Structure 1
Amino acid sequence: MNKPLVEHNKISALTGTRVLQLIDSLEAGGAERVAINFANALVGEVEGSFLCATRAEGLLKSSINSDVGYLYINKTKTIDFKAIRRLHRFVKDHHITIIHAHSTSYFLATIIKVLKPKLKLVWHDHYGKSEFLEQRPKGVLKICSYFFNHVFSVNSKLETWAKQYLKAKSVSYLPNFAIKNKIASTTNLKGEPGKRIVCLANLRPQKDHLNLLQAFKDVLKTHPDWTLHLVGQDFKDAYSKSVFKFINTNQLEYNVFVYGSCPDTSAILSQCTIGVLSSKSEGLPLALLEYGLAGLPVITTDVGDCNLVVSNRQEGLLIPSNNSLALEKALLEFITNPEKAKLASSTLHHKVELQFSEASAIKTIKAIYQSILV
């Protein structure tokens, strides 16, 4: 059931601006968390903040602020006339002035813009394979981009790509920001406290869990009491099967634990000792910012804009992708040097709070909204 809309009495700098965040699902992914973070943070900053899930709900629904007007349209195919009518009616009834579409929801947003030409359309590009942009399909996106009033790109490579290939009126880089969710802890991690490594990433090939598993397997030769915790959606596909096969074949069942999607990520990170990402490709991963906000020492591969977050060894360990030996050495460096790990976690925590804050991102977003409404 859709949440009732709560009208806001607070006078905002953007009086009359009513913004709908559009996202495909509410599963526990990075783009989904960003869309909800924006909807929640804009409450009181604009006249009305709304969120629509088009294809599926999910674990993150419970983290939507009660003051956010919420809609779920159950879109089941590319051109779903019933879903289009529901969204169009919602936009009209609630006097939406801006649709802020995330990831692949741009297509539906473009249809609504065609039906309601005065509507402003912002597209937020979260594309996670920024190391392989030459393979990115762009035909439909390029056509739709004629209707985009602005594009937000989550890293500098995507910003350059959008300026080169798309026809949007303007493009800018907007780094993600992380917040500590307030969902009560429901996930109790296995393993010994103080010896837990976490990887917050859905089971997708670009996240390269197999590289991490190989590195961790070698770490266990000298530190058999440490555990690895994989948190993220399991799509039950060939890649997922390869992850579980590696765990079983190498008899890691007592040291590696897979949890699937979990809504209580902040509570999970508070139980961990080291945060790691072993990706082949990234944008600017929200998980990396969440590690920093949680005060974890971080190890990440040098892909996407990860090097903007971890830019030196005082902030964490930046390693080449697809290199299990480098990852093993980095894990051992933090495991055997807890003081170094503590310093890195403190330094990164301060940087994330300062440079990747909610206040900074919302200030930028509001400025763009204001500029396109003129």
Structure 2
Amino acid sequence: MTDSAATIDPAVAPRPGSSVTVALCTWNGAAWLPDLLASLVAQDRPPDELVVQDDRSTDATVDLVRAFAEDAPFPVLLEVNDHQVGSTANFELALQRSSGRIVALADQDDVWYPAKLAHLVDLLDQDPILTLVFSDADLLGADGRPIGRRLWDSRGIGRYLRTNEIVPGPMFARRALSTGCTMAVRRRAVDAALPFPTSLEDPVAPMRHDRWLSLVAAAVGTVQAVPEPLLGFRVHPAQQTGVLEPAELRRRRLRAAREAFGPAQESTVREHRVRAEQLAEAARRADLLGDFEEADELEAISRHHRVRADRDAPPGEPPAHDRRRGPLRRLRPLTDRLRRSRRRRRPLGARRDRGEAVTAVRPTRVLAVTDTLEVGGAERVAVDIANSLDRRTHEVAFCATRNDGPLHDVLRDDVAVEVIGRRATWDVAGLVRFARFVRRSDIDVIHTHGRGTMKIVALCRQTGLLDTPHVFHDHYGRLHLDRRAGADLRKAMRIGVDEYLGVDSRLCRWARTAIGMPADRVHLARSGVDLRRFDDVEPVDLRAAFDLQGTEVVLAMVANFRQQKDHPTALRALAELPPDQRRRIGLVFIGSTSAERAFYERCMAMVEALGVGDQVRIAGALDEPLRYLAGADGAFLASKNETGPLVVLEYMASGLPFVASDTGEIMTAVRDLDVGFAPVPRDPHEFAAALQQVLDLGPDGRRAMGDRGRAAARDVFGQELVTRRVEEVYHQLLIRPSDGGPGAGEGPRSAFRRDRGAVG
């Protein structure tokens, strides 16, 4: 069950390709323009249109473009400004004229490699959470010959970008990381960035169009850096920015500021005020679109600049590198003492009760580990796997390392449950209690769910407290914000993980490339659904319960009020429908309103501001959400990013057509099954169109789509199918010969593997 082969569903269809505009700005570029135009024609994926905005060139630039347009294999739309406006305003005009769903920016003096456009567009088409991608570039001399350097390295940002694939918005707030000619940006980010604020062109703290686009794109979505050089970036004396180091660029700005505004102290204060204004405007736009978390981050940085300006302080040095040691290193002296003081353990290949050798006759003892037994996606997956493991070949125990919860009652009666009660991630006493429980229970395989519990087992392995084979099930759901692999995480996984299960193909790719896990130990494990939970469910009449009598279609959205679930996009999609269509829909939000109380209150303010109060109802947290799903006509989910999402399987198992963000492995798998609608995340236009399609289906069409969804849940995502593949991972782990990996040698684990033979 490797990442490439672990598909238990039909062939996954890609999203339909997006239309692409290349936005090119020109000014006296006749010397270099022919090379660029020729490289556009040579693209593996040609653009659908080329928009050229000329800023009153006085050479042959305009004539070259007109001549090119006569024979170009795509439409060329040329416009010449009435007067010179400058580079940033010129790109603003070009973006306003661009019609593609994706816009790629171009500079007149560069040379695109044939794969550039196809590569960037494919990234955006394959991963709907991305709003902007940008690449590295090879540096060319004025004569067009390579000079043996890269753009990122020449600007001192190569190391950061190569180790941080996803670039958060605050990084763009602090410095320029992306270059316009290397980027492709999705339409919704372009719309959010337009019109450009006038403060971008302030001479003290100018923010060029590319940095502004990146800042806004990161606020309304996710920005990814692509380390491959996809174009040749020409370096010559006449270019506007070139490859000057940040310090030199800053010196030039300060010189210009002194000339315009006097002493350096005054210009520094003004620089902080201008930057604060720029960031506040980006925060305002993110807030209007419902991206409250991103807006708050940008506003905090803007506030920092205002405070600096008010204190009349010079610019500070960048923060020193965080040299604090990681938790594993800090705990090493203590764990060394634990290792010396603990009693000698029996080999895992020996039974603890009678000292008899383990044979294949005894069922494999599996311990599922989560932080808690509260209701959650990862916890639900862990419980479903524990309940559905084949009891002829497996004995099951369950450990909640922090606290108990409602899912305890969902576990089968034959599952032994232990609650450790650890108080912190590195609670040493809790660590010892956990290790004692594992040894006392004679566990053969530990199956952890979540990175916190994985690190506990890794620390037990490093300290010698445990040598039990370990399967790590990764449910990490913030891939749109963070794909880093810090030293502590890499060390924990390399030392403490034998097999890796990722619920998303992106997680599997991350484990192989960022962590360095061997490919044969990385497995794609899509979540499943136990259809027995949906039998004999008594539906709740949502129209009667929520005063929605006469509403044609009532949709349910099961999601706690948290930033990730993106309720604002659902509200804005409702508001975009024509009033006569909006009145036909009711939307019931099911989920906790206290998880992020401030977010919930801002959503309620949005309901009033958008005028959708007649359509929206709040059910709050419910003990039996399946009864409410059974009483709905359809379902909705507007998450910014998911690695599942498991709730979509519950929608399908309930027989509901759905509108859900096209994010996560489950949505990728059902994209072509005609069981729901999958708009791009954070795009209210697409969500509104999907809602209209649900209305247009009519009762019979919605019922038929729901029936197809239930059949797919049974045939593709049935829990028994998923669990059998997890059992295969256990089996392969226990019979694999020692290969020098974690636990290799003549220690307990090698004895365990030698004695087990065939398992299950």
Asked if TM exceeds 0.5, the reply is yes
What secondary structure sits across from 2:617 in the alignment? strand
Shift of residue 242 of structure 1?
2.1
Q: Assess, with a 3 A threshold, how the Cα gap between structure 1 residues 21 and 220 changes in structure 2: closer, same or farther.
A: farther
What secondary structure sits across from 1:319 in the alignment? coil
Asked if structure 2 preserves the Cα contact closer than 8 Å seen for 1:184 and 1:264, the reply is: no
**Structure 1 segment 336-355 matched on structure 2, within 5 A:** 336-338=696-698, 339-355=700-716
Look up the match of 2:562: 204
Rounded to whole Å, the distance in 2 between the matches of 1:244 and 1:335 is 25
Shift of residue 232 of structure 1?
2.8
Q: Assess, with a 3 A threshold, how the Cα gap between structure 1 residues 345 and 42 changes in structure 2: closer, same or farther.
A: same
Asked if structure 1 preserves the Cα contact closer than 8 Å seen for 2:539 and 2:629, the reply is: no
Kindly indicate whether residue 523 of structure 2 is the aligned counterpart of residue 172 of structure 1.
yes
Match of 1:138 among 468, 481, 486: 486
Kindly indicate whether residue 562 of structure 2 is the aligned counterpart of residue 213 of structure 1.
no
Kindly indicate whether residue 381 of structure 2 is the aligned counterpart of residue 23 of structure 1.
no
Of 145-154 and 51-60, the range deviating more from structure 2: 51-60
Kindly indicate whether residue 472 of structure 2 is the aligned counterpart of residue 123 of structure 1.
yes
Rounded to whole Å, the distance in 2 between the matches of 1:263 and 1:362 is 26
Asked if structure 1 preserves the Cα contact closer than 8 Å seen for 2:587 and 2:616, the reply is: yes
Asked if structure 2 preserves the Cα contact closer than 8 Å seen for 1:55 and 1:74, the reply is: yes
Asked if structure 2 preserves the Cα contact closer than 8 Å seen for 1:97 and 1:119, the reply is: yes
Match of 1:161 among 490, 493, 510: 510
Q: Assess, with a 3 A threshold, how the Cα gap between structure 1 residues 46 and 75 changes in structure 2: closer, same or farther.
A: farther
Look up the match of 1:230: 589
Look up the match of 1:68: 415
Rounded to whole Å, the distance in 2 between the matches of 1:112 and 1:184 is 43
- Post-superposition Cα deviations, 1:100-124, rounded to whole Å, max 9, x if no partner, equal 1111221112223344443011111
Kindly indicate whether residue 395 of structure 2 is the aligned counterpart of residue 48 of structure 1.
yes
What secondary structure sits across from 2:728 in the alignment? helix
Asked if structure 2 preserves the Cα contact closer than 8 Å seen for 1:184 and 1:267, the reply is: yes
Q: Assess, with a 3 A threshold, how the Cα gap between structure 1 residues 320 and 300 changes in structure 2: closer, same or farther.
A: same
- Post-superposition Cα deviations, 1:274-333, rounded to whole Å, max 9, x if no partner, equal 111112211121011111111000112222224433323722212111111211121122
Kindly indicate whether residue 450 of structure 2 is the aligned counterpart of residue 107 of structure 1.
no
Look up the match of 1:57: 404
- Post-superposition Cα deviations, 1:41-77, rounded to whole Å, max 9, x if no partner, equal 1261543211111223333232122211111112211
Shift of residue 250 of structure 1?
4.5
What secondary structure sits across from 1:337 in the alignment? helix
Rounded to whole Å, the distance in 1 between the matches of 2:653 and 2:685 is 27
- Post-superposition Cα deviations, 1:169-209, rounded to whole Å, max 9, x if no partner, equal 51110110012437977977433487321112232222211
What secondary structure sits across from 1:202 in the alignment? coil
Asked if structure 2 preserves the Cα contact closer than 8 Å seen for 1:100 and 1:123, the reply is: yes
Q: Assess, with a 3 A threshold, how the Cα gap between structure 1 residues 243 and 179 changes in structure 2: closer, same or farther.
A: farther
Rounded to whole Å, the distance in 1 between the matches of 2:577 and 2:624 is 28
Shift of residue 167 of structure 1?
4.1
What secondary structure sits across from 2:401 in the alignment? strand
For 1:195, give the aligned amino acid: V
Asked if structure 2 preserves the Cα contact closer than 8 Å seen for 1:292 and 1:345, the reply is: yes
Q: Assess, with a 3 A threshold, how the Cα gap between structure 1 residues 259 and 83 changes in structure 2: closer, same or farther.
A: farther
Kindly indicate whether residue 441 of structure 2 is the aligned counterpart of residue 90 of structure 1.
no
Q: Assess, with a 3 A threshold, how the Cα gap between structure 1 residues 261 and 58 changes in structure 2: closer, same or farther.
A: farther
Q: Number of aligned residue pairs: give it.
A: 361
Asked if structure 2 preserves the Cα contact closer than 8 Å seen for 1:314 and 1:343, the reply is: no
Of 67-76 and 147-156, the range deviating more from structure 2: 67-76
Look up the match of 2:681: 321
For 2:555, give the aligned amino acid: I
For 1:215, give the aligned amino acid: A
Shift of residue 218 of structure 1?
4.1
Shift of residue 231 of structure 1?
2.2
Consecutive unaligned residues of structure 2, counting only runs of 5 or more, are 1-359, 736-760
- Post-superposition Cα deviations, 1:79-104, rounded to whole Å, max 9, x if no partner, equal 11232222122111111111111112
Rounded to whole Å, the distance in 1 between the matches of 2:578 and 2:393 is 51
- Post-superposition Cα deviations, 1:207-250, rounded to whole Å, max 9, x if no partner, equal 21110122124448224363212223441343233223323544
Rounded to whole Å, the distance in 2 between the matches of 1:142 and 1:300 is 33
For 2:590, give the aligned amino acid: V
Rounded to whole Å, the distance in 2 between the matches of 1:305 and 1:77 is 31
Q: Which has the larger radius of gyration?
A: 2
Kindly indicate whether residue 81 of structure 2 is the aligned counterpart of residue 81 of structure 1.
no
What secondary structure sits across from 1:101 in the alignment? strand
Asked if structure 2 preserves the Cα contact closer than 8 Å seen for 1:14 and 1:370, the reply is: no
Rounded to whole Å, the distance in 2 between the matches of 1:294 and 1:264 is 13
Shift of residue 268 of structure 1?
2.4
Asked if structure 1 preserves the Cα contact closer than 8 Å seen for 2:538 and 2:630, the reply is: no
Rounded to whole Å, the distance in 2 between the matches of 1:253 and 1:76 is 42
Of 62-71 and 307-316, the range deviating more from structure 2: 307-316
- Post-superposition Cα deviations, 1:16-40, rounded to whole Å, max 9, x if no partner, equal 3111111112222211110111111
Asked if structure 2 preserves the Cα contact closer than 8 Å seen for 1:53 and 1:71, the reply is: yes
Moved over 6 A (4+): 182-188
Asked if structure 2 preserves the Cα contact closer than 8 Å seen for 1:310 and 1:318, the reply is: no
Asked if structure 1 preserves the Cα contact closer than 8 Å seen for 2:574 and 2:612, the reply is: no
Match of 1:357 among 701, 718, 725: 718
Look up the match of 1:9: none
Asked if structure 2 preserves the Cα contact closer than 8 Å seen for 1:310 and 1:317, the reply is: no
TM-score, normalised by the number of residues in structure 1: 0.87
Asked if structure 2 preserves the Cα contact closer than 8 Å seen for 1:28 and 1:263, the reply is: no
Asked if structure 1 preserves the Cα contact closer than 8 Å seen for 2:485 and 2:515, the reply is: no
Shift of residue 266 of structure 1?
2.3
What secondary structure sits across from 1:327 in the alignment? helix
TM-score, normalised by the number of residues in structure 2: 0.45
Rounded to whole Å, the distance in 2 between the matches of 1:231 and 1:296 is 15
Rounded to whole Å, the distance in 1 between the matches of 2:718 and 2:671 is 17
For 2:641, give the aligned amino acid: S
Rounded to whole Å, the distance in 1 between the matches of 2:604 and 2:718 is 36
Identity %: 24
Rounded to whole Å, the distance in 1 between the matches of 2:540 and 2:486 is 40
Asked if structure 1 preserves the Cα contact closer than 8 Å seen for 2:556 and 2:635, the reply is: yes
Look up the match of 1:372: 733
The two structures, once aligned, show a CA RMSD in angstroms of: 2.6
